[in-house]
Amino acid sequence: MTMTLGKLSALFKLRIGFAITLCAAAGMAMTQGPALPAWKVSVLLLAVFLSSGAAGAFNQYAERDLDARMARTRRRPFVTGEFHAGPAWLAIILGILAFAVAAAAWALNVMSALYVFSGAFVYGVVYTVWLKQRTAWNIVVGGLAGSFAVLAGSAAVDPALSPAAIALAVVLFLWTPPHFWSLATVLHKDYAAANVPMLPVIVGDAKAARITLGHTIALVAVSVVPVVFGMGVIYLAGALAGGAYFVLKSVDLVRDPGPKAARANFLASFVQLGLLLTAAIVDRAVG
């Protein structure tokens, strides 16, 4: 039972789901408007969490042949045969997504539901099926998936969206590439052997590190923009502290573009995002 639950957690990428759900909570917190009832907040967060899980499971369903060629992913259940990748699993995945979107439309509004769907569609179809094995721009476009979670949270309060939340959505769009390019540098040989055109594989680790630093600086610059639209000192402190740490580790990666520095930068991206989102929620809660 414990092993099955662990496999299901990995299949639906629940850790990523929690991060995506936090993005939605931050988008909601950064949007001025009437406070949502607790049950509507719960439906929003559940819808985003389920849609993220459905997208993660579809990613593994669609990529089972690719996963079999990579050391990091060859133990995934669709690869090993522990879960049979047949029509039943596809129906389950699509059913979860349909339920999530319908719940958001029913409890919140059509725009919030549209953003819930769009995040899953971008990750599951645009990134996974269309771009991942075709172009080094794959994760750049794929970064929209996290952005849509922020917009879903904002639209739940006001379908017209908050300028501060839109700025945060841009931050998420800029955050995903340096986050994933760092991981791709750690796994350079794995991606190269599987013929996946991740940026470090195409341009080399050194050039990829410089591009990563540029994206990191850009996202930190954009992360302070919400202060112009009413976010307070707590948010600014979180944005600057997390941003400074991420930039520092990205500079270290440029100086030493290898797996060790790349792993540190990958972890720094989580620190930056966690501080930013938490500061956004706390800032509004005490403001």
Q: Which tokens hold the place of 65?
A: 């042949």
Give the pLDDT confidence score for residue 275 in this predicted structure: 97
pLDDT digits (tens, 9 = 90+) for 40-64: 999 999 999 999 999 999 999 999 9
- What is the maximum alpha-carbon separation in the chain? 52
pLDDT digits (tens, 9 = 90+) for 152-202: 999 999 999 999 999 999 999 999 999 999 999 999 999 999 999 999 999
Give the pLDDT confidence score for residue 3 in this predicted structure: 53
Query: Is the confidence at residue 1, as pLDDT, over 60?
Result: no
CA distances from 11 to 45, 137, 138, 140, 161 (A): 20, 25, 21, 23, 32
Angle, vertex CA 168, rays to CA 265 and CA 127, nearest 5: 65
pLDDT digits (tens, 9 = 90+) for 229-285: 999 999 999 999 999 999 999 999 999 999 999 999 999 999 999 999 999 999 988
**What is the total residue count of the chain?**
287
Residues 246, 59: Cα–Cα separation, whole Å = 28
Q: Which of 86, 30, 79 is nearest to 235 (CA)?
A: 30
Residues 143, 170: Cα–Cα separation, whole Å = 9
Give the pLDDT confidence score for residue 4 in this predicted structure: 75
pLDDT band per the 50, 70, 90 thresholds, residue 79? very high
Least confident of 74-83, 112-121, 236-245, 254-263: 74-83
Element containing residue 73 per DSSP (H, E): none
- Domain coordinates in residue numbering, the chain: 2-286
Residues 285, 287: Cα–Cα separation, whole Å = 6
Residues 55, 122: Cα–Cα separation, whole Å = 9
